[in-house]
Structure formats: structure tokens, C-alpha cells
Amino acid sequence: MNVRTGLPLLVLGALVAFPVIDPAATYEQTVLLMAFLLAIQAVSWNIISGFAGYISLGHSVFLGIGAYTAGILAARWHVNPLVLAPLAGVVAVVVALLVGSVVLRAKGPAFVIITIALLLVFQVLTVNTPALTNGSDGITLELPSWSSDIQNIPFYYAFLGLLVVTVGFAGWIRRTKFGTGLVAIREDEGKAAAIGIPTTLYKNLAYAASAFFVGVAGAVYAYFLTFLNPLGAFNILASVMVVLAALVGGKGTLWGPVVGAFIVSFAGEAATNFGGESQTRLVMFGVALVLVVVFMPDGLVPLLNRLVARKRQAVDYIDHVVTVERRPVEPSVPKTEVLLEFRDVGKAFGGLRAVNGVNLAVLDGSITALIGPNGSGKTTLFNLVTGIAGGHSGEIRLAGRPLTGLPPWTRAHLGLGRTFQVTRLFKAMTVMENVVAPLRGFAPGVLASDAVAGHEADRARELLSFVGLGRFTTERAGALSYGQQKLVELAQVLMLEPRMVLLDEPAGGISPGLVDRMAEIIRELNHRGVTFLVVEHNIPMVLDLCDSVFVVAGGSVLAAGPPEIIRSNPAVLDAYLGGVVS
């Protein structure tokens, strides 16, 4: 057993034993159970905000919803609120799904503000529905059914048990394909969609998953308090504490929110005890938030992890050298069928016509180039094909199927892969995680499957060896050289088993040796049946590699044909190629 599993088990053992050893320590039990409650919320918050990167500043809204669900029903049905706890969790999930389908369309600061507004909306709702909630007078619940001798001990174990389950749940999510998808969304949502991850569904499920245990805990909390009112149940300070806990410990990590919740709870308690007035607590949280954001933006757990990793790196440092395995390339077969077609496609950004009546056909099995001066509309055409940009005129078809209206992930599932001009790997993930992240299709079973396992992991290893990076699987993607990142991005796209790959400047910014390797890989993949549309400024490479070339200028196709013709076309030479063609 190592420190990572041994330490939590040791702490858990001590926490389980504590009330047995000292049953009369009511105050300490209360402090601890409040820390457990904060940790349950912070770990849950971490699913939507730490993993997926959507910062919810009003997350304790689900605590209030769980508490009110249990409070209202317990008062009406005269049942123990603990029995209603699972139902409270389900109600929180239903609210999260309903609310999430609207609020998760917003991103960044807009989403943060909406989540605060949500807290206030529920506060106003509970005040203004007295028939259901007893309005601002609140709901008084029956006292716990057990003897006052043991007082808080059942609540202590209920919250501790819930915390263990919540941590287990969050840890399991992080290990699944769903969890990897959430981290991909956090790192680069557009890219995640382009590699087949249905981002809208993932975000909604993450929001719902982050609400369940908070709702369950809300029901237990209602019984613990035996009194509920709108201001207490939908409290902004309680929500800020959840965020602070996750930030202090390290959002996005499994244990960070737990560690942070204990630190924040104990510090808050100390401020209340020694600070004189309750305002001390507010000032302290405000100052702590600023200090954490400025000096420890990643939180405590990642900081400790980095310190340990730095030591380790000094011992087993690996030299970053790409080994190139040369493969024979046979002549490709003639192509006649159209795979990708643009029919009179136009796209304007305000008054600027970036793409203007483009007609273009990429033959199945070909390597087709799209060249043109900077700003001529090449990347915009790629964005229209992959669905990153919409709102165009005309029609784009893949294998005869119109792509209009399809989200980027469905286009990826149809066999459309794409690399980016500036590589867009998920830099915080390992090379392996990056390569297994794409989804070739979506079925509910995918969500729960292991992120890095089985056939997919084997295939990823195979692809990484193919591009010459087999030994970098455990390396963080951000630590690789730019050229290596380009190759990993290509391996990532190949996981989609694409029919067609759009390459945006594959040779841009990489060393001459890697340019040759890249051309060789493209040729070999083409020989295996992959069709390419390549945007590239390295004209000698393009003319050598491609079967046909489209030249665009000012958003329109200026010339098209095989490389020999393009090489000698006076209009093309004039507009673009100049002296670079050899």
C-alpha cells in the first residue's frame, strides 16, 4: 500500500474511531461533521467545475433544494427526513438537468453569474411559495428520533459515509471515458467536440452528477438543523466556501477539495472562536480567496504533487528524441468518387466575405491541397466542414450527406478528423489520455468505460508508435516539443478511424526532419485509404505530396488542378506562389 491509498485510509480510520473513543466530544464532532458536509459539496462541485471547468459559484443551491425537499415532505408525511435523502438527491438531479439545459449554454463569467443568480432565484421562490415552503417563516422539523445522549453521532457517521461515497463516485468518474471527456471540455471545448465528444450531453450529465450527493446531504443537513429558512438554505457565503475549499486544495484533483474543505472549515471555526465577531470569518474568506488565486492558483495538492514529481524527474529523465521508422510506400490507386464537396459555399464575418462562392470537390482516396495567401479563407473553410463555424450559405457534403446542422461531434462520428494550425492538444493530460480521448461514436455504455484500457489503449499505443512517439505515452502532452505535439494530434485524430482528415498546416513550425516524417506518414495513411485535404504553406512539400491542388485567394477558388498545372499557372504564380516553386 502506498502513501496515496494508505494516508486516506489512515485518516478515515481515525475519523471513524473518534466518536467511539470520545462520545462526549460533541463540539469536536460538530466541527468535523460540518467539514464533512463542506467536503461533500466541494468534491461534487469539482465534477462540473474542476473536471469540466464550468465554475458554479452557487452550487449550494442543491443543498437547499435537498434540504427543502426533505423538509417539506417530512413535515407533510411525518416521516424521518433521512428516509427521504435519496429522493432529495434525485430532485436535485432533476433540477440540475432542467436548469443545466439552459445555463450550460453560457460559458466563463456568464455561467458563473448565472449560477449565483440561481441561488437567489431559489431564495425568492421559497419566500414566495408559503403554501409549500412556509415562506420566510421557514419549516421546523421534528427533533431526531434517537436519544439526546448520542446527539450528533448519527449525523457524524451519515456525513462521513456520504463523503466516502462521494469521493468514490468522483474518483470513478475521473477514471472513465466520461471523466476524460470532461477534462477535455475544460481544456478546449471546441477541440473536444471536434474529436467526437458530445459536449452538450457531457456538461449536462456532469452538472447532474455534481448535484446528487449535495442534494442527499441537504436532506441530512435539514434534519441536523431541524429548522430551514430560505436565507440559510440558499446561502451565498456557503457557496463561496465550497469554491474556496476546492481552490485551496486543488480543483480538478480528487483529494484537493477534501483537503481544502478541512482547511477552510477549521480556519473558519478558528476565526469565529478567536476573531470576536462573525464578520472576521467573512474578511478571512475574502483575503484567503485572493491569496490562493494569486499565490497558489492550482491549490495545495497539485503543488505537493509537483514537488514530488520534480524530485522524481531528476532520477528517470528521458531524452526527447523521436525515432523515425521508415516504411515503404506503394503507388496509390486512381480516384474518381467525390468524398467532400463544397457547393457554392459562402461565409461572412460582419461585412467581410471570408469565403465567397467556393465550389470544390475532394476525391475519395486523394491527397488534395488547399493553398493560398494568408487570410484567403482556408481555415474558415475547414471550420465550416468540421462545424466549428456555422451560418454559411451553400452546401457542404461528406460522402453525399449534407453536413449542415450537424454538431461537430456527429461529423467526427461520420469519419471526419481534423488537426489545427496551432496544435490543440489537451496539455494537462498525458499523451496516452490525449490519444484515447476521441470517440468514434456515442452509446451510453461509453460513459462508464475505462478511459485508458483494453483494445483502445492498444490501438493508441500502436498509433503512437506509428508516428514515432511510442515511448512518450505517460508524458504530459504540454511537455512535448511543438513538432511532437503535431504528431500526437495526428495520432489522436487517427483514433477516430477517419475516412477524411483535414490537416491545417501539418508542416508549420516544425523541424525539416519532422516535415519529411510528416509527409511520409500522410502518404502511408493515404495508402491505407485515408483521404486528406491539406492546408499548407510549404509549397514544395504540397506539390510533391498532393494529387490535386486548389488555390484560393480572397475567399474564392482561383485555380484547381494537378500540381504540374498549378506549378505553371501564371495567375497562381502571380497571386501567390512567386518564386517559391522549384
Ligand X SMILES: Nc1ncnc2c1ncn2[C@@H]1O[C@H](COP(=O)(O)OP(=O)(O)OP(=O)(O)O)[C@@H](O)[C@H]1O
- Could you list the residues that contact ligand X (CB under 6 A)? 349, 352, 354, 372, 374-380, 421
The nearest distance, CB 530 to ligand X, in angstroms, is: 22
- Residue closer to ligand X (CB basis): 305 or 421: 421
Nearest CA to 222 out of 76, 63, 30, 26 is that of 63
Q: Which is nearer to ligand X, 135 or 373 (CB)?
A: 373
Q: Decide the pairing of beta strands 500-504 and 531-535.
A: parallel
Closest distance of CB 354 from ligand X, Å: 3
Separation between Cα atoms, residue 289 and residue 284, nearest integer Å:
8
The smaller minimum CB distance to ligand X, of residues 234 and 382, is found at 382
Q: Which residues contact 46 (CB under 8 A, 6 or more apart)?
A: 170, 210, 246, 251, 252, 253, 256, 257
Least Å distance, CB 116 to ligand X, is 30
Cα–Cα distance for residue pair 251/45, rounded to 1 Å: 9
Cα 378 versus chain centre, distance:
28
Nearer to ligand X, 276 or 351 (CB): 351
Least distance CB 389 / ligand X (angstroms):
7
Q: Smallest distance from the beta carbon of 368 to ligand X, in angstroms?
A: 16
Least distance between ligand X and beta carbon 436 (Å): 29
Q: Closest approach of Cβ 377 to ligand X, in Å?
A: 4
**Based on CB atoms, which residue is closest to ligand X, 49 or 380?**
380
Q: Which residue, 115 or 380, has its beta carbon nearer to ligand X? A: 380
H/E element, 64? helix 61-77
Q: Which residues contact 91 (CB under 8 A, 6 or more apart)?
A: 65, 66, 69, 215
Helix (H, G, I), strand (E, B) or coil at 497: coil
Residue with smaller CB distance to ligand X, 505 or 547: 505
Instruction: Choose between 248 and 360: whose C-beta lies nearer to ligand X.
Output: 360
Contact 216, 66 (CB under 8 A): yes
CA separation for the pair 138, 123 (Å, rounded): 11
CA distance 317 to 329: 35
Helix axis angle, 108-127 to 61-77, nearest 10°: 20
For 288, other C-beta atoms within 10 Å of its C-beta total 18
User: What's the N-to-C CA distance of the chain in angstroms?
Assistant: 64
- CA separation for the pair 506, 489 (Å, rounded): 10
User: Smallest distance, Å, CB 356 to ligand X?
Assistant: 10
* Least Cβ distance, residue 191 to ligand X (angstroms): 16
Q: Which is nearer to ligand X, 285 or 576 (CB)?
A: 576
